[in-house]
Amino acid sequence: MMESDLALPCIQYDQHPAFSGLTVTCTLDDNVVFRFIESIDNAYLDLLKAGRPDSENVSTEFAAKAGPLFTELEQYVLSADMRDELRRTTKHAIDRARQFLSDQLVFDRRRAEKPTDPRALPENLTGFVDGLRTNGYYQCPVTADLASSVWRQTWWERSVLRKRKEASPGRHCAMPLDACSPATGSIQRALHSKGIVSAVSHYMGCEMEWLYAALDFSHHRQSWYKDCYADSDLPTAKTVYMHFDADPDIVKAMLYLSDVDSASGPFRYVRGSHRWRRSPFLFALHKGFDMEQTKSFPMEADGLDYKLGYYRPRFFLKDHRRDLLTLPSAFRGTTHFGDDIVDESDLSRRLLAGEDTFLGPSGTLIVFDGSAGIHRGSQVERGERWAVQIAMRAVSSRRQSPASRRSIVKAAIKGRMRYELSRTKDVISQLFSI
């Protein structure tokens, strides 16, 4: 079966072992909800096909054609018998879905205005772009020089993360690299010199640029992704942490700073899943629900983890599982669905069989479409993994006024001085605390 004939996974939560014993049901007609969803999807796709060079009024067009359908769906779904807190969350998730789809439409119209010229793609990057289009990822030649440079330049950041590991071993251990740090500069230069930005621009059909880089330290003591359904005697799923990302205009890359084997949390990608069929509305809605949960559950001060220790509270807590079943079945999904797939099921076998695992030495670099394709990483069974996650974003989506070269250089110098000062202060503080 071709990847384009497949559809994104749909979990039947009312049949899931951790949900099946909960004696609650939705008071709405699923068929009515699915008809609303189909109408919204069709309206969105019609607007997508009707793209014109002028994209100035895209949001207005979307509001006029899809807005009334959103309103009707919202009124119907919110009429269900559910707790007030869930009703508020559901309304906000629908609002987010509306904005996600509108933003996606604006983005697609913008990149249609000034598409990249396929004739401008260097011959040595053809395989790169073809790999992204076919598989959803491309593994670049090992960039040992870049990894070695970034490793040296992040000595301070690594020391910070090692301290965090000892203080909170179960939690995420990551930090954004300062935009003006030497490591970020090395990464930005490599993205251009190795043709990565050019290849990604051709894949996306619009000009792309560096957005951010984050240093990630993964180790075997982390537990933030484990034991979602331990209260139902279910082990952590073999497909745990399979997910897709939220932003439609971003392409990511993973750079290993240490050697990675099968036990040290390798990056994984379900080959071709970026082309699987999906409902545009549900794809956006599930992102909306995941974003809304950050408002409902206490988080750590750095915003990386929930205080309860697991990263999906709506599914971890039994009372909230009960809430999920009061929603229409289509509304029960999540972008991070891998934890909910039962081991040895047909779906589990199919996803695991289609998953490519990237093992390799320091300098291994994988560029991937995380917004559309299913991927995961960082589940370390033994030892540790150091990596940098890199993101590139469409230039047209940033809407920044152009700055003079002089002001850019001035800002870069100030930023570098600020970075060096903060690093020096921290090092001195640590020395005096010993």
- Determine the Cα–Cα distance for residues 35 and 233; give it in Å rounded to an integer: 37
Over the stretch 7-44, which tens digit does the pLDDT of each residue have? Answer: 899 999 999 999 988 989 999 999 999 999 999 999 99
Look up residue 360 and give its DSSP letter.
B
Q: Could you tell me which residues come within 8 angstroms of residue 132 by beta carbon, excluding any fewer than 6 positions away?
A: 138, 199, 200, 203, 251, 367, 368, 369
Three-state SS sequence of 289-320: HHHHHHHHCCECCCCCCECCCCCCHHHHCHHH
Percentage of residues in the chain having pLDDT higher than 70: 88
The alpha-carbon radius of gyration of the chain (Å, integer) is 23
Measured CA to CA, the distance from residue 187 to residue 190 in angstroms comes to 5
326-373 pLDDT tens trace: 999 999 999 999 999 999 999 999 999 999 999 999 999 999 999 999
The whole-angstrom separation of Cα 172 and Cα 167 is 12
Which residues have C-beta within 8 Å of that of residue 243, sequence separation ≥ 6? 335, 336, 337, 338, 374, 375, 376
CA atoms 417, 418, 421, 426: torsion sign: negative
b or e along 165-178 (b: 16 or more beta carbons within 10 Å of the residue's beta carbon)?
Answer: beebeebbbbbebb
Residue 295 has pLDDT above 80, yes or no: yes
